[in-house]
Chain A
Amino acid sequence: MDKYKLIAENITVSYNNIISVKNITMKFKANTVTSLIGPSGCGKTSFLRCLNRMHDMNKNVKVMGKVVIDNTDLYLDNMNPIYHRRKVGMVFQKPNPFPTMSIYDNVTAGLRLNGIKNKKILDGSVENSLKLAYLWDEVKSDLKKPAIELSGGQQQRLCIARALAINPEILLMDEPSSALDPISTQKIEETIMNLKNELTIIIVTHNMQQAIRISDYTAFMYLGKLIEFGETKKLFTAPTDPLTAKYVKGFFG
């Protein structure tokens, strides 16, 4: 069934007129996990941020191309990106909880932005999201604690919970486990596999073992270009491009 949840077409990103992502086209099937791999600075983050128009924050960035979610182009002029952004959750490379807000308020921030005030719903969402992010057991007794008092890894799991709380249909994760210890990493990987039943996940990772473990598809980027994109197993065992072959064997990067 070739039902695509998300289609990125001819995406080009430039910072101050310097091109970082060159004409990338990728299609993502619903309920799959796709890993983006490639050496540092190859444009993974830049590409990922196009998928929910995160670049709108920065006036020096120019994005060209189309991003189609459920048959709507995110970059159409008359499009209100906010509605679509609420369907796309994102976890950033560096944990960025709201430091002055409590754990509870961090998780419910997205729901409150959507006008949900019912305490039962919020409570339920906090427990559910924190459990999915494997943080619940560590913080359930102290949900009023400010987020800044959590460790770096806990903060990152809080950010994952915050992104999940709005029930996104697509989840973008930028190296979510770079701040986590092996045990939390393993738990987050389990979460990702479980979440696949409900949403479409795109994850940037430097850890090739992780890509192999969790993703159905893998894309290899190099110097802003998409070099190879296909089923994870195939990309790692029988890559078609010599650059990919070199990279997955660990020769550079």
Chain B
Amino acid sequence: MFMELKPPHNLFVDKIFKIIIITSAFYILILIVYLIIKLFLESGPIWQEIGFSFIINSDWNTIEGRESFGALPYILGTIVTSIIAMIIAVPLSIGIAMFASYMPKESHIILNFIIDLLASIPSIIYGLWGLIVFRPIFVKWFEIPINSTLGEHMWLFSGIPLGLDIITASIVLAIMIIPTIASVSREIMKSVPLQQQEAAFMLGATKWEIFKFAIFPYAKAGLVGASILGLGRAVGETMAITMLIGNATGVFALPKSLFQAGQTMSSILANEFIEASPLSLHISALIGIGLILLLFAICINIIAHVLVVRMLKVREGLINI
């Protein structure tokens, strides 16, 4: 029998939907471009006065008449704290994710709940915890013993072990990004098809070998993406770092030892933005640092995005790692 097909009025809805999506995508893009341009214009004086050597200078003098500014210590501060945090957080998070994907259902739910809860705690609480709970214990059992034994011989452990320093800030930072990395990694590992695990299992793989042969190779790019997502959080993190890093400025903030006070791009903004007088070179230097931080964050997100998209394509079998 002949069946009459419905007229394709859905096409119209499709079109509107498409327009909405494109507009909102454009809106976000325009917002970011506007932000970059705005930050660049507002920080104009610093680029005019000092030029691009602002990025490689280390001085920081805010006294009027003797002003000189350099962003290098804070750029390095951000890089160093983020790297240390990643070194600590990535293996732990992947371990947690592995554990979570192997636990029986009930405890699984509890662990997932804890991970998601940790991810939603405001960073100032982490900062307070770091300051009040973690710092005294860490100084007593870790910093003082290491500093007194190795401090004289290794620059890495020299300085005064007060607990307001790069390593304390980095560790608390690591704790903050673990939930993010762990929960994304968990989802990625869960998405590895069962048939893959069966293949390894059939060959006589142990639990660990199943991870090594079936899960990691398949999830590799996604796990890198998850880690970079955590890195994005680490780079932007402000409150907890500001509370724990000791807030040095200028050449004193150049990271040399784990037990020295430092400063990151976001913490110097938090520390000095309110005090800086409007229209001063100081404020344009701070805005310049904000611009660098934004570009950092954008790059990291682009890399993460590219890796995750690649991973999805690998799953569909379009490309291979």
Binding site for B on A (CB under 8 A): 52, 54, 56-57, 59, 82-83, 85-86, 89-90, 92, 94, 96-101, 109-110, 113-114, 146, 148-149, 159, 162-163, 166
Q: Which residue of A lies closest to B196 (CB)?
A: A96
B24, CB-defined interface residue at 8 Å: no
A90 surroundings in chain B (CB, below 8 A) = 202
Q: Which residue of A lies closest to B195 (CB)?
A: A96
Q: Which residue of A lies closest to B207 (CB)?
A: A82
Kindly identify which residue among A57, A89, A148 contacts B194, using a CB–CB cutoff of 8 Å.
Answer: A57
B197 surroundings in chain A (CB, below 8 A) = 57
- The smallest C-beta distance from B98 to any residue of chain A, in angstroms, reads 16
> Would you give the 0/1 interface string for B201-218, flagging 1 where the beta carbon is closer than 8 Å to chain A?
111111001000110011
A selection of 11 A-B contacts at a CB cut-off of 8 Å is: A57-B197, A59-B104, A94-B195, A96-B196, A98-B217, A99-B196, A99-B314, A99-B320, A100-B217, A162-B199, A166-B204
Number of interface residues of B (CB under 8 A): 26
- The smallest C-beta distance from B219 to any residue of chain A, in angstroms, reads 10
Kindly identify which residue among A97, A113, A149 contacts B205, using a CB–CB cutoff of 8 Å.
Answer: A113
Binding site for A on B (CB under 8 A): 104-105, 193-206, 209, 213-214, 217-218, 220, 314, 317, 320-321
**Quick one: given A54-B198, A92-B198, A148-B320, are A100 and B203 in contact (CB under 8 Å)?**
no
A146 surroundings in chain B (CB, below 8 A) = 320
**Quick one: given A59-B104, A109-B213, are A54 and B218 in contact (CB under 8 Å)?**
no
**Quick one: given A96-B199, A100-B220, A100-B314, are A114 and B320 in contact (CB under 8 Å)?**
no
Docked CA distance A52–B194 (Å): 17
Docked CA distance A90–B203 (Å): 8
Docked CA distance A59–B104 (Å): 8
Q: Are A86 and B195 in contact (CB under 8 A)?
A: no
